[in-house]
């Protein structure tokens, strides 16, 4: 198996780092999960790196576990990003077609123009996603290739992130010994793992509840239409339990996972359980229903913020497939029940899919791995682009060496020039 058939997704979360290694059979297209690794992490706050050393160490641990399981040494990864610094806006671009019908070259020129949106120096563009194409004033076109027309234009969703946040992710990965092929918006990756094409076609809202952030993505007509991030998630629930019960955070997390319910109606048998004592104090007993009274308001607040973002997007009445909830927060019992009550539409728990049913596939068939699996799928989808850019980087390195020769001072074009020329020559 050659290295190009190996794809790695790295999910750097507020409470954990998760790695998934997938292989693709070049003949059959079969996708197998061949390695996973997970490690606790406290180097982030609300999705943003606050301690490079701690984050890099957690990445190393997760990578080593995945490498041992798969038998492969990881060199390159696709990594996710989240946080309330992520922003989205729209842009429009117009080009004249080179002939009587729209060609791939015309579309690539249009996409290049869309990326010329002006942003401040402290921002970095993550994705530019075309929404709709317009040919000679005719709108609502999803695929303009081969259509007749002289003027091609498009409206696109532009997703940006704080430059410092992106650079810190690169630094963490560099310290952990891996190169980054791409930094991908986390809900975009999660959608690849848990959503069906038909859901994205008819309209669906994805809510990815992590440790530090809750990510919202809205799809319609197979296109990402809106994305937003709420800085309230699973860690807030744990913090509430810690504060009310007066126990350690590690004990609160365990109680949340084992005994917690997000909705009282999901408790079929109200049982008592022990709360560990602190500093030699005697353990106490608490019922699941009382614990639910601590948890439910915070989860309800999270969903209310998500509803507000969905309504603000203008697509609240276009979600024919309802809402899909994924991420570690979706594992809390009764989450879907509470969501059904609040959203008043169909609700499903999103589980990663799209790979063969071997033992490791079962291991990642949980919302906890949604983003990491989605990042590997993103790597598969864009592998040819990564290979081309890596080739350009190697050429750039060679040109930098040539530039030191006095007889050839103008050999170097620069990486940006090479990338632009490659897109224009497609």
Residue pointed to by tokens 């996603």: 129
Instruction: Sort residue 214 into left (φ over 0), alpha (ψ -120 to 50) or beta.
Output: beta
The upper half-sphere exposure of residue 55, i.e. CA atoms within 13 Å in the direction of its Cβ, equals 23
Helix axes 186-194, 370-381, angle to 10 degrees: 90
Q: Is residue 248 part of a domain?
A: yes
Contact predicate 365/351, CB 8 Å? yes
Contact predicate 209/325, CB 8 Å? yes
- Expressed as residue numbers, the domain containing 275 is 234-295
Nearest alpha carbon to residue 356 among 135, 123, 102, 25: 25
Q: Is residue 46 part of a domain?
A: no
Contacts of 168 (CB under 8 A, 6+ apart): 48, 49, 52
Alpha carbon distances (Å) from 157 to 100, 104, 228: 28, 20, 12
Residue 1, token pair as written in the block: 């198996």
With 0-12 / 13-18 / 19 or more C-beta atoms within 10 angstroms meaning exposed / middle / buried, residue 121 is exposed
pLDDT the model gives residue 383? 83
In the chain, which stretches have pLDDT less than 50? Answer: 1-4, 402, 404-416, 419-420, 422-426
Contact predicate 338/349, CB 8 Å? no
Distance of alpha carbon 5 from alpha carbon 381, whole angstroms: 12
Contact predicate 84/305, CB 8 Å? no
Contact predicate 43/32, CB 8 Å? no
pLDDT the model gives residue 396? 58
Q: Is residue 422 part of a domain?
A: no
Q: For 254-258, which contacts have Cβ atoms below 8 Å and span 24 or more sequence positions?
A: 255/291, 256/295, 256/332, 257/331, 257/332
pLDDT the model gives residue 304? 97
Contact predicate 98/244, CB 8 Å? no
Residue pointed to by tokens 């632009």: 420
Distance of alpha carbon 194 from alpha carbon 204, whole angstroms: 12
Distance of alpha carbon 232 from alpha carbon 49, whole angstroms: 16
Q: Is residue 83 part of a domain?
A: no
Q: Is residue 162 part of a domain?
A: no
Question: What CATH number does residue 258 fall under?
Answer: 3.90.640.10
Local structure of 401: helix, strand or coil: helix
- pLDDT one-digit tens code per residue, 306-358: 999 999 999 999 999 999 999 999 999 999 999 999 999 999 999 998 776 66
Q: Is residue 281 part of a domain?
A: yes
Q: Is residue 257 part of a domain?
A: yes
pLDDT the model gives residue 362? 82
Determine which helix (DSSP H) or strand (DSSP E) holds 130, and give its type and residue range: strand 123-135
Contact predicate 32/393, CB 8 Å? no
Alpha carbon distances (Å) from 383 to 5, 24, 82, 372: 9, 11, 22, 16
pLDDT the model gives residue 388? 67
Distance of alpha carbon 313 from alpha carbon 220, whole angstroms: 12
Domains in the chain: how many in total? 1
Residue pointed to by tokens 């490498």: 67
Residue 292, token pair as written in the block: 């639910």
Contact predicate 255/291, CB 8 Å? yes
Local structure of 263: helix, strand or coil: coil
Distance of alpha carbon 160 from alpha carbon 65, whole angstroms: 32
Number of H helices, E strands in the chain: 13, 18
Q: Is residue 255 part of a domain?
A: yes
């Amino acid at each position: 198996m050659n290295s190009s058939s190996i794809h790695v997704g790295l999910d750097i979360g507020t409470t954990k780092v998760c790695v998934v290694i997938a292989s693709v059979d070049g003949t059959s297209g079969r996708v197998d999960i061949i390695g996973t690794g997970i490690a606790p992490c406290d180097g982030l706050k609300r999705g943003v790196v606050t301690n490079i050393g701690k984050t890099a160490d957690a990445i190393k641990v997760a990578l080593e576990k995945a490498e041992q399981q798969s038998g492969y040494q990881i060199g390159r990864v696709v990594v996710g990003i989240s946080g309330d610094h992520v922003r989205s806006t729209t842009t429009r671009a117009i080009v004249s077609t080179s002939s009587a019908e729209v060609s791939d070259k015309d579309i690539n020129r249009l996409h290049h123009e869309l990326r010329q949106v002006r942003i401040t120096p402290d921002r970095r563009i993550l994705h530019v996603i075309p929404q709709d194409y317009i040919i000679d004033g005719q709108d609502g076109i999803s695929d303009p290739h081969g259509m007749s027309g002289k003027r091609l234009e498009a409206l696109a969703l532009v997703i940006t992130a704080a430059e410092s946040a992106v650079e810190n992710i690169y630094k963490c990965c560099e310290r952990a010994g891996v190169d980054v092929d791409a930094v991908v918006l986390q809900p975009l990756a999660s959608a690849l793992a848990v959503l069906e094409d038909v859901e994205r076609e008819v309209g669906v809202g994805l809510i990815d509840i992590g440790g530090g952030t809750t990510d919202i993505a809205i799809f319609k007509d197979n296109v990402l239409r809106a994305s937003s991030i709420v800085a309230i998630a699973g860690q807030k629930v744990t913090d509430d339990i810690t504060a009310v019960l007066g126990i350690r955070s590690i004990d609160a997390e365990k109680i949340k996972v084992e005994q917690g319910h997000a909705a009282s109606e999901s408790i079929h048998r109200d049982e008592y359980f022990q709360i560990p004592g602190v500093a030699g104090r005697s353990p106490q007993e608490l019922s699941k229903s009382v614990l639910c009274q601590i948890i439910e308001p915070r989860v309800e607040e999270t969903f209310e913020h998500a509803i507000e973002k969905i309504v603000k997007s203008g697509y609240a009445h276009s979600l024919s497939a309802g809402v899909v909830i994924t991420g570690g927060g979706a594992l809390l019992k009764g989450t879907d029940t509470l969501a059904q009550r609040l959203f008043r539409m169909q609700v499903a728990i999103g589980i990663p899919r799209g790979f063969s049913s071997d033992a490791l596939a079962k291991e990642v068939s949980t919302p906890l791995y949604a983003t990491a699996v989605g990042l590997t799928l993103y790597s598969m989808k864009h592998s040819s682009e990564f290979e081309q850019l890596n080739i350009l980087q190697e050429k750039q390195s060679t040109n930098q060496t040539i530039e030191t020769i006095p007889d050839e001072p103008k050999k170097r074009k620069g990486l940006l020039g090479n990338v632009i020329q490659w897109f224009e020559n497609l």
